[in-house]
Chain A
Amino acid sequence: MNTPNVSRGPVAGRVVAPNGATAPSEIEVPAVVTEAVFETRELSVLYSGFRAVRGVDLTIRRGEITAFIGPSGCGKSTVLRCFNRMNDLIDGAKVEGDLLYRGVNLYDAAVNPVEVRRRVGMVFQKPNPFPKSIWHNIAYAPKVAGVKKKGDLDEIVERSLRRAALWDEVKDRLNDSAMGLSGGQQQRLCIARAIASDPEVVLMDEPCSALDPIATARIEDLMKELTNDYTIVIVTHNMQQAARVADMTAFFTTEVASESDRRTGLLVEYDRTDMMFTAPSDERTENYITGRFG
């Protein structure tokens, strides 16, 4: 099991002196100084007046992988889709509470969701490449962001595909349709597409649930590599996956309203992944991770 590396942020917990030697130990540096990318306070999402998920208070820090786990219907995907305003596409969806992206409330009336999505990319459950060539799949994001020169686009396409560990497999057929790739390749293409607009955060909504174990392992390796440049939030059904890749884990569950029999999701516990899986503080978390329900 991967032990989360808590010092993996832009501000590492060590100061290096000009001569390359480690600074004297008298200088106290906090062990974890990572900047918050997202902060939510009492976030809840309503669909047509019905509360789908409530009570989400968490802080997602730069350069970390944060996993959302929980049983079906607990609202983890719903919360994820708030982070790039994808819920705007659903009629009747309404968000309450605060969702701050680097201090700015994402649901402020003046916020342009299109600009948000250029900074917060997304990878979906089912690989969904555009039915176009591999090149056009990657170049589309920079194109709509205003990059026009073919040379620049070529460079972005190559860089994105290399970062998504797909370049060597597709470099000779960039003009072929993306639909001809295998499922795992398609999902890596979608990751390349998401990072082509150079976002700060990549949201992944169960990115491996349609893939076989080998393809899944490749995506997981890729995720760990990408944390050098990107903050990743992943929704997963697979607890082992969360344990393998995530620095932080949030556990959601559902509660059933006694009078209406409707389910509402809620955030139960949010902690470092190793804590979550070794010493959960909530009984419901423990029951879930030990397989007693869910």
Chain B
Amino acid sequence: MALALSRERREERTSEAVRSAITRSGGDRVGLVFKVSLLACLLFALALLVWLMSTVLSDALPYLNERGTGEFLNGRLSSRTERFGVSQGIIGSVWILVFVAVLAFPVGVAAAVYLEEYARNTRLNRVLVLTIRNLSGVPSVVYGILGLVVFKELLGGGDDAAWWQFTGGSSLISAGLTMAILVLPIVIITASEAIRAVPRELREAGFGVGATQSEVIRSHVLPYALPGILTGTVLAFARAIGEAAPLLMVGAVTGLLSSKDGLIDTLQGKFTALPMIVYQTAKRPDAEGWPAVTAATILVLLVVLLVANASAIFFRNRVERKRSR
């Protein structure tokens, strides 16, 4: 076959014959179909997203215009659409993000450093890694049950709480801790991957000049892996802010919520969060105009998430710029 082809090519005596052979039209049909179907998949995904966003916006904007955005943001939970506001939900969601950033981030990164840099490749450690991977896929409602049993009941204690029962029951602390545990496997996995991607040459350079293992990790491995670790944090934020099921289990408020003074009271007191408000308003009658409230709350949720992610990405880009400069 190959011999026949090469003989045929040798027999193309003139440049004209060669030209007609190598400029044959028709092209790569299969390739074109492949490319178009890839594009179609992309457009389908985008179209769904655009449709979702436009529905939300078309419901939310007239309501927000009528109420005034500021009033909606500052208002509190209410049984009437014209007085309803999401300030308590924003506070709850932001606090949950704070818990994730303060607890899940350092603990997860530290665990990843141990797994990647210190743990030997033993059967036990392989099982450990597999378990963490599986944990990241466990449905959030299961984490909600953990939060209910451990944080709300065991560490909450109700009215006659002992000194070590610090969560206050169905509180922001319980919700924050539950969410931090929920995203911990995601942080560990993404941080592990970022650490694994640090080039071997960089580690060797550090060891080669007589740095200890912890010095190599602190001054070379972690700075290099930081952008990747922050990408994982963005994912963790997104997961934590969007989950409603664990909050439901821990006991987020669905009706009215009284205001509280002071940090401790806020943290130990009853709470709600933006996804809870979405869930709760979506159940109320359409006729009273609740769909518009739901849409407006979704919009606020997206904006809060966008701000959290944008700050993580901004930080990441700054680190990256510093690295390449």
Question: Which residues of A are at the interface with B, using a C-beta cutoff of 8 A?
Answer: 84, 86, 89, 91, 114-115, 117-118, 121-122, 124, 126, 128-131, 140-141, 144-145, 176-177, 179, 190, 193-194, 196-197
Contacts and interface: CB of A to CB of B under 8 A. Distances in A.
Contact of B205 (A128, A144, A177): A128
A124 B212 contact: no
Contacts of A194: 208-209
Contact of B207 (A115, A117, A126, A130): A117
A177 B209 contact: no
B121 interface: yes
Contacts of A89: 203-204, 207
A194 B209 CA distance: 6
B222 to A, nearest CB: 13
Interface in B33-79: none
Nearest to B220: A130
A175 to B, nearest CB: 10
A196 B208 CA distance: 12
Contacts of A190: 205
B219 A140 contact: yes
Nearest to B204: A124
Interface in B295-318: none
B258 interface: no
B208 A86 contact: yes
B202 A91 contact: no
Nearest to A203: B208
Given A131-B324, A179-B324, A144 B211 contact: yes
Given A124-B201, A128-B201, A131-B323, A144 B208 contact: no
B210 A130 contact: no
A114 B204 contact: no
Contacts of B208: 84, 86, 117, 121-122, 124, 194
Given A86-B207, A91-B121, A140-B219, A130 B212 contact: no
A117 B325 contact: no
B204 A144 contact: no
